[in-house]
Amino acid sequence: MVTIFNRKAAAPDTPEPIEKQVLSRRDLLKGGTISLGAILVISGSSIIHPEFAWGLETSNLKPETMATLIQLARDIYPHDHIPDRFYAIAVKPYDAKAGEDPKTKKMIEEGIADLDKRAGKGGYIGLGWEDDRLAILRKVEDTPFFQTVRGGLVTGLYNQEEIWPLFGYEGESYSKGGYIARGFSNIEWL
């Protein structure tokens, strides 16, 4: 089975709701069933983003869990200009930790199951409105699961050198002679 999460058309200036479709192998092979608006395809132990050509293999957590973690990461640290692949890189260490520590795996799987249960039909990732997901996150923000994920995302997301330019950060300055010698004191409006 392949699970596809499609963006539905939404009113202007609103987040796009997500619709979940499950395809059989036969439907997938027939072709034409997958729309160009697909954002994530979950198949076997992989998560694939067909539009932007990236994928993520999982070895310890379920692919559905990783897909939900990617959405959770985007909801905790929302940056519209940051592609999903950077969020996938940020949550990938949780898959490795789950293989090393059964307690971590249990906490993550149960945390995601709790989010899905609170979200109702379609689960957490099936909620199309960001406000609905944030309401759920506010209810679980004091749990060890949420705090663990949030804490790991700080370094997992923001330590990726590829996204630094998207925030206007040039990186550390020591190796380049510091900030003062690099235009820090060039204030022309003073």
User: Could you list the mean pLDDT of each consecutive 10-residue stretch along the chain, which spans 190 residues?
Assistant: 47 49 54 43 61 70 90 94 91 91 94 94 88 94 95 94 88 78 64
**pLDDT reported for residue 35:** 36
Q: Which residues pair with 54 in a beta bridge?
A: 49
Q: How far is CA 44 from the centre of its chain?
A: 19
Instruction: Give dist(CA 87, CA 92) in Å, integer.
Output: 9
Instruction: Give dist(CA 32, CA 36) in Å, integer.
Output: 10
**pLDDT reported for residue 54:** 61
**pLDDT reported for residue 7:** 44
Q: Is 11 left (phi over 0), alpha (psi -120 to 50) or beta?
A: beta
Instruction: Give dist(CA 142, CA 150) in Å, integer.
Output: 11
Planar angle of CA 28, 34, 57, nearest 5 degrees = 70
CA distances from 93 to 15, 152, 168 (A): 28, 9, 26
**pLDDT reported for residue 178:** 75
**pLDDT reported for residue 186:** 64
Residue 26 lies in a domain: yes
Closest-CA residue to 171 (of 84, 163, 180, 86): 163
Going 24 to 30 to 32 to 37, the CA torsion angle's sign is positive
Residue 145 lies in a domain: yes
**pLDDT reported for residue 12:** 45
Residue 119 lies in a domain: yes
**pLDDT reported for residue 9:** 43
Residue 189 lies in a domain: no
Which domain, by its residues, includes 137? 4-164
Residue 126 lies in a domain: yes
**pLDDT reported for residue 2:** 47
Count of domains forming the chain? 1
Residue 75, both tokens: 């909801």
Residue 178 lies in a domain: no
What is the rounded (10 degree) CA torsion for 123, 154, 86, 178?
170
Residue 124 lies in a domain: yes
Give pTM, 2 decimals.
0.68
Instruction: Give dist(CA 179, CA 87) in Å, integer.
Output: 30
Residue 129 lies in a domain: yes
- Spatial contact of 37 and 52, defined as CB atoms under 8 Å apart: no
